[in-house]
Amino acid sequence: MTDAPLSKLRYVNETFRVIELTSNAVYVGRIGDGALPDSTLVPIDRDTLEATMVLIPAPFDGGQWPPNRYIATFEDSTLFATLVGFAPEMTGTEVASWIGDVRVDIDEIYQLFARVIG
């Protein structure tokens, strides 16, 4: 996806959660569930407020995705499932979540962004 203001990244009734703040970006995302099975990750540049949407398709999804988003490969989608999880099985950065003690492997997420966005 070309960079876009965050207001243009609404995806149905999706609510993004902050997962990481760095000196140059805010990283937000949403983990898929039964109603909206695809996951999304969005780095937002803190200087320009430009946002880049990365869609992580659910393995069983039919492939009807919103236009103009970077789409992860099946391999990266499968890997994504190992980068986000619940403590104590998962270690990593704790993120705010209404579903429990969720952890994210931030270093691997950065590498996933690099592969998908290029």
Pairing of strands 70-71, 54-56: parallel
Name the helix (H) or strand (E) containing 79.
Answer: helix 74-83
* The residue count for the chain: 118
Instruction: Tell me the per-residue pLDDT of 11-24, one tens digit each, with 9 for 90 and over.
Output: 445 567 667 778 88
- Sketch the domain layout of the chain as residue ranges: 4-117
pLDDT, tens digit, 9 for 90 and up, residues 32-60? 777 777 888 888 888 998 888 888 888 77
Share the mean pLDDT of the chain.
77
**Strands ordered across the beta sheet of 84-86:** 84-86, 102-104, 93-95
